[in-house]
Amino acid sequence: MPTILDKIITHKRQEVIDRQALVPVKLLEKSLYMDSQPLSLRHYLLRDDLSGIIAEFKRKSPSKGVINAHAPVERTTLGYMQAGASALSVLTDTEFFGGKNEDLTVARRYNFCPILRKDFVVDEYQILEAKSIGADAVLLIAAVLTGEEVLRLGRFAKSLGLEVLLEIHNAEELDKTLHPDAVSLVGVNNRNLHDFSVSLDISGELAQRIPNDYVKVTESGLSSAADIEALRAVGYRGFLIGETFMRHGRPEKACAALVQQLRATEAVTLL
């Protein structure tokens, strides 16, 4: 049986063809962001003065349906930064997540921090598009790409100055797709693609399999300072959090509360 990810990728391949016809490469290359120097997601996550949180703007998902259809991009993303997040993640997929490229461009206009374009990359066109809308990093999902595709797409991203976050779900995906020439960060998604269950144990189990040359990011299911501290203890420096924030009426306030929780925990640890 095809998974929801299979359905998304099938749709995405056709979407890329349609978008190329609508917005050709030559038009993307005229964007004012094409000549800008992207910020380093890796660097921001390694900063000791920041939380390590990658705060995500996401309206809906296939597993949860509509999460928050009304939160404004500018107020939410600026609020995330003011709350103490290290970086932003913005969903730009429309069909399954209710996002759009303009969401990221608006976030870029209001924030000076790294922004990850969260989408389902299958073609170089999408990477060029990411740069043209103001992204600093792109996501490559190992579950839908071969090792050769990750290498090709990752090298292309790096040629544009973008960093690559490689998302994995298990050790097999890590072994087949991890390329030092293409990847800067490795993200472990704690969500099972078949039944949508979430377990932070996945990040715990894979922590030691990921070489220390890569910044380790954990994704999905994080909801407390205790979760972050436990995974930080085994080597994670990035903590991608979306639904925990977005299901609140004011996602930025939920982010602020978690950052305060985290700082309080850190202060106790130092005593």
In the set 15, 167, 173, 243, the catalytic residue is 167
User: Helix 251-270 crosses helix 225-232 at what angle (to 10 degrees)?
Assistant: 50
In the set 12, 58, 131, 216, the catalytic residue is 58
The answer to whether residue 229 is catalytic is no
The answer to whether residue 56 is catalytic is yes
Q: For the chain, what percentages of helix, strand and coil (3-state, to nearest 5) are there?
A: 45, 15, 35
Surface-to-core class of residue 201, CB atoms within 10 Å of its CB (0-12 exposed, 13-18 middle, 19+ buried) = exposed
Angstrom distances, CA of residue 74 to CA of 53, 88, 95, 176, 260: 18, 12, 22, 38, 22
245 in Cβ contact with 255 (< 8 Å): yes
In the set 51, 184, 220, 243, the catalytic residue is 220
The answer to whether residue 61 is catalytic is no
The answer to whether residue 86 is catalytic is no
In the set 118, 131, 132, 184, the catalytic residue is 118
The answer to whether residue 58 is catalytic is yes
The kind and range of the H/E element at 271 are none
The answer to whether residue 40 is catalytic is no
In the set 68, 101, 184, 189, the catalytic residue is 189
In the set 56, 129, 163, 173, the catalytic residue is 56
The answer to whether residue 253 is catalytic is no
Nearest to 253 by CA among 79, 89, 72: 79
Report the alpha-carbon angle 173-175-180, nearest 5. 110
In the set 129, 173, 219, 243, the catalytic residue is 219
Calpha distance 121→99 (Å, rounded) = 15
Partners of 140 in the beta sheet? Answer: 166
Per-position b or e across 93-112, b if 16+ CB within 10 A of its CB? beebbbbbbebbbbbbeebe
Instruction: Write out the two tokens for 63.
Output: 């597993």
Residues taking part in catalysis: 56, 58, 118, 167, 189, 219-220
